[in-house]
Amino acid sequence: MLVTNDFLIESINKMKVDYISGAEAVIKALVENHVEVIFGYPGGAVLPLYDALFENKKIKHILVRHEQAAVHAAEGYARSTGKVGCVLVTSGPGATNAITGLTDALMDSIPIICLSGQVPTHLIGTDAFQEADTTGISRPCTKHNYLVKDPNKLCEIIHKSFEIASSGRPGPVLIDLPKDIQLSNVKYENKKNKINNINKNISSYVDQNLINKVARLLLEAERPIIYGGGGVVNSGPEASKLLTELVNILDCPVTLTLMGLGCVPNSNKRFLGMLGMHGTYEANLAMHNCDVMLNVGARFDDRVTGRLNAFAPNSKKVHIDVDKSSINKVVHVDYGIVGDCKNILSALVQEVKKLHNQKSMKTKTKWWSQINEWKDKDSLGFKQIGQNIKPQQAIKSLYEKTKSFDTYITTEVGQHQMWAAQYFGFSKPNHWMTSGGLGTMGYGLPSSVGVQIAHPKSLVIDISGEASFLMNMQELSTIVQYKLPVKIFILNNEWMGMVRQWQELNHGSRYSESYTSSLPDFVKLAESFGISGLRVDNVNNLDTTIDDMINIKGPVIADIRVEKEENCFPMIPSGAAHNEMILSSHDNHKDTSSEGLALV
Amino acid sequence: MSVYQKNEVEEVETSRTLSLVVDNQPGTLARVIGLFSGRGYNIESLTVTEIDKLRSLSRISLVTRGTSMTIEQIKSQLLRIVPVHIVRDLTLEGPFIKSELALVKLVVKGANRVEALRIAETFRARTLDVTLTSFVFELTGKPSKLDAFIDLMRSLGDTEISRTGVSAISRGHKTETKLLDQI
């Protein structure tokens, strides 16, 4: 009898040990899922979680100054490391502020876990203080979301969320955590080895028959082109290597989307630069005139295709994508291969090598000489005349000065973003963080926070415009708090440059509300945060200013006063096709079509 | 036509019946409907009910309309939704049965009462409620049959209609048991 009693007491004690608070379980589950950094902002509904974080030594919390910035920082962290980015926000306004960031992550396929606080379950639906229907609001802008109502399911939900966020086509997952769930007693459960049924569209099975057909198609092509996108970056550095290998074996021109920059080193002689609306002349014309197109991990975005009925009209198209719904969504392809870029590319490289030994490849001399003719147009050429700094020159000089470092670039959205994509060279994937799909002004500064946290020793530069910078400049405070030596390189033309450019081209130069008036003195702004500010308006001092920016140990705001009314070229006007590019304002171009005017 | 659309001869839009197996959780239906409204697809009919208590699964029978490219897009978009487990295109798979239930209230007096009952008998509708001035009929069958019945009833008097929407299942001996076991 006595023995049994002892046994009972022992097991009761054991049970007590096993039970922890919901908040502690959340943090424990994050640690089990290899989270090292979490970006967040506290508030009433997440106090138990912050309490659990207080005791925790394994997760570093970065206090941002706005929840949108928390998500962008996590995006920068995720994109530059290949890990899942983690965010913690409170209920109501905390969650609604995070929505822009979540949408951005969904559009650009970035794995994010966003934990949001919620009012206690018994108050849900009563319009309680700081209550919002967070799962309702975030449903269309997350890959998946959960409202945890049962503490017993808490651990399982968190583990599953990480799997959902990082597998298949990555994306943001939001977990809404009512305060009473955070305070409840939970028995911690470890992650199961295998979580089923998340990516029903994808199988690891590679259709060898299809690979064979595609390999033949590529080898027999006279005018092939490979077009890579963000999916290659998401698939890991190995995929980028395989893509470069494929390009080299086939002696095939390659172009990359905005999201894909860095997958093939810019030094590769087969790389034609970025394609699309502000892509190079040679890349777009090669796309237009190709006979075989291989799309790896890109999604035929409207910035890339231009007018669809004139998109690569005489080509056979192959599309590799991890997301089945991307295939045949807007462009009909001849062969669609659903799968992870790395797996498919590896099979394809093998097959191409095998077939290459058996028979000779079609010579591409004619195709290359055609491409070189297009290259001679020098579509990115510009003339730096006078003392005023051309924005293109600013980026070019920045690239020259920083290419020997391990440099990570983030950008905001607009002209400066396009100039960065055009004139900065990327030799590796994961070194370029930009808001592609959603086009979120204010992305770059918070994103650079995440990148610098992940890579404390590297040179992190936010290439910014003065208007975008103002959208999330509160993050200067975060940068100072964590002593992040981020360099903020503002191409300051006192305009919302891209808006101004479109008004010039499409709206008779009626510059409605696109002037950024009442700008702060950026040098004094920097000083007010206790960091360094630099300003340059003469091209002769540009290089020394960039040197100073790099050499100053801490964060720097560099106010680069550039030519105010410079436009970003080359450009495919909206509603036009790849072969209807304009190279400069002087180019004879038709007025934008009425359909084109309606496009964004 | 949008300039971003393919400039080909527009393929004809056809009606398709999809059968989905989803987790019976709050939010799943909102996700499915949100997908249709967010991406601009049509829903002609939609029915949802739990079909497996143990595994907490529901069936959504859905009738939509579109070109084959749109329908393929709808199916792959549906499969991206985490709690959607199975998406079947019954129209494409082969013969299937489509059935619907309608409750029809008819306010009617005099000689038309006999006519109403006669029509109801012809359609094999059941009479669920009778008063001196009204009937409630219950009718199941193909949507087109229900349409015809309701049209006739409308010509006899004031009506009130409640329909369930289409429920559908494939003909033959094949079942989803194996697919369901993998969930």
CA gap B123, A368 in Å, rounded: 73
Identify the closest residue of chain B to A596 by CA–CA distance: B3
Instruction: Please identify which residue in the block is written with the tokens 């023995």.
Output: A3
Is A329's Cβ below 8 Å from some Cβ in B? yes
Pick from A471, A536, A221, A466: nearest CA to A367: A221
Query: How many CA atoms within 13 Å lie on the side-chain side of A125?
Result: 2
Q: For chain A, what percent of residues have pLDDT higher than 70?
A: 96
DSSP letter string, A520-549: --HHHHHHHTTSEEEEE-SGGGHHHHHHHH
CB nearest B80 (choices: A325, A327, A596): A325
User: Per mean pLDDT, which range of A165-169, A327-331, A522-526, A583-587 is the poorest?
Assistant: A583-587
Q: For chain A, what percent of residues have pLDDT higher than 90?
A: 90
Tell whether the model's pLDDT for residue A132 goes beyond 90. Answer: yes
- Written as six digits, the tokens of A39 are 């970006």
A325, A201 in Cβ contact below 8 A?
yes
Q: What is the phi-psi region of residue A334: left when phi exceeds 0, alpha when psi lies from -120 to 50, beta otherwise? A: alpha
Pick from A576, A30, A588: nearest CA to A302: A576
CA gap A339, A206 in Å, rounded: 8
Is A203's Cβ below 8 Å from some Cβ in B? no
pLDDT digits (tens, 9 = 90+) for A463-502: 999 999 999 999 999 999 999 999 999 999 999 999 999 9
What sign for the dihedral angle of Cα A405, A409, A415, A419?
positive
CA gap B168, B178 in Å, rounded: 19
Chain-chain contact of B4 with A302 (C-beta, under 8 angstroms): yes
DSSP state of A184: S
Instruction: Give helix then strand counts, H and E, for chain A.
Output: 24, 20
Chain-chain contact of B3 with A330 (C-beta, under 8 angstroms): no
- What's the average model confidence in pLDDT over A344-361? 89
- Written as six digits, the tokens of B23 are 């987790």
Chain-chain contact of A329 with B79 (C-beta, under 8 angstroms): no
The packing angle between helices A22-32 and A154-166, to 10°, is 30
A495: β partners: A515
Q: How far apart are the first and last CA of chain A?
A: 80
- What's the average model confidence in pLDDT over A229-240? 97
Tell whether the model's pLDDT for residue A106 goes beyond 70. Answer: yes
Q: How far is B166 from chain A, CA to nearest CA, in Å? A: 26
Q: How far is A323 from chain B, CA to nearest CA, in Å? A: 8
**pLDDT tens sequence for chain B (183 residues):** 344 455 455 679 999 999 999 999 989 999 999 999 999 999 999 999 999 999 999 999 999 999 999 999 999 999 999 999 999 999 999 999 999 999 999 999 999 999 999 999 999 999 999 999 999 999 999 999 999 999 999 999 999 999 999 999 999 999 998 888 888
The residues, ordered by sequence, that sit 6+ positions from A120 with a Cβ below 8 Å of its Cβ are A178, A179, A180
Q: How far apart are the first and last CA of chain B?
A: 42
Query: How many CA atoms within 13 Å lie on the side-chain side of A290?
Result: 29
User: What is the dihedral angle through the alpha carbons of A116, A117, A121, A123, rounded to the nearest 10 degrees?
Assistant: -120
User: How far is CA A467 from its chain centroid?
Assistant: 20
Chain-chain contact of B30 with A140 (C-beta, under 8 angstroms): no
Predicted TM-score of the model (pTM): 0.94
* pLDDT (0 to 100) of residue B2: 44
CA gap B55, B59 in Å, rounded: 12
Chain B partners of A332 at a C-beta cutoff of 8 Å? 6, 69
Identify the closest residue of chain B to A306 by CA–CA distance: B4
Is B68's Cβ below 8 Å from some Cβ in A? no
pLDDT digits (tens, 9 = 90+) for A413-454: 999 999 999 999 999 999 999 999 999 999 999 999 999 999
User: What is the dihedral angle through the alpha carbons of A585, A586, A590, A591, rounded to the nearest 10 degrees?
Assistant: 40
A 114-173 near B (Cβ less than 8 A): 135-136, 139-140, 143-145, 147, 164, 169
CA gap A74, A39 in Å, rounded: 6
User: How far is CA A527 from its chain centroid?
Assistant: 31
Burial class of residue B8 in the structure, from the number of CB atoms within 10 Å of its CB (0-12 exposed, 13-18 middle, 19+ buried): exposed
A225, A290 in Cβ contact below 8 A?
yes
Pick from A339, A297, A326, A332: nearest CA to A311: A332
Phi, psi of A138 (to 5 degrees): -90, 0
Query: How many CA atoms within 13 Å lie on the side-chain side of B150?
Result: 20
Is B69's Cβ below 8 Å from some Cβ in A? yes
* pLDDT (0 to 100) of residue A413: 98
- What's the average model confidence in pLDDT over A266-276? 97
What sign for the dihedral angle of Cα A295, A442, A546, A237?
negative
- Written as six digits, the tokens of A99 are 């929505």
Tell whether the model's pLDDT for residue A1 goes beyond 50. Answer: no
Burial class of residue A80 in the structure, from the number of CB atoms within 10 Å of its CB (0-12 exposed, 13-18 middle, 19+ buried): buried
Q: How many Cβ atoms sit within 10 Å of the Cβ of residue A13?
A: 10
Pick from A444, A472, A478: nearest CA to A64: A478
User: How far is CA A480 from its chain centroid?
Assistant: 24
Chain B partners of A323 at a C-beta cutoff of 8 Å? 76, 80
* pLDDT (0 to 100) of residue B78: 97
Q: How many Cβ atoms sit within 10 Å of the Cβ of residue A403?
A: 14
Pick from A44, A32, A43, A30: nearest CA to A74: A30
* pLDDT (0 to 100) of residue A514: 96
Is B99's Cβ below 8 Å from some Cβ in A? no
Q: How many Cβ atoms sit within 10 Å of the Cβ of residue A595?
A: 14
CA gap A419, A354 in Å, rounded: 41
User: Per mean pLDDT, which range of A57-61, A182-186, A572-576 is the poorest?
Assistant: A572-576
CA gap A85, A92 in Å, rounded: 21
Average per-residue pLDDT for chain A:
94
ipTM: 0.89
CA gap B70, A141 in Å, rounded: 22
A159, A192 in Cβ contact below 8 A?
yes
CA gap B84, B52 in Å, rounded: 14
User: How far is CA A98 from its chain centroid?
Assistant: 16
Is B6's Cβ below 8 Å from some Cβ in A? yes
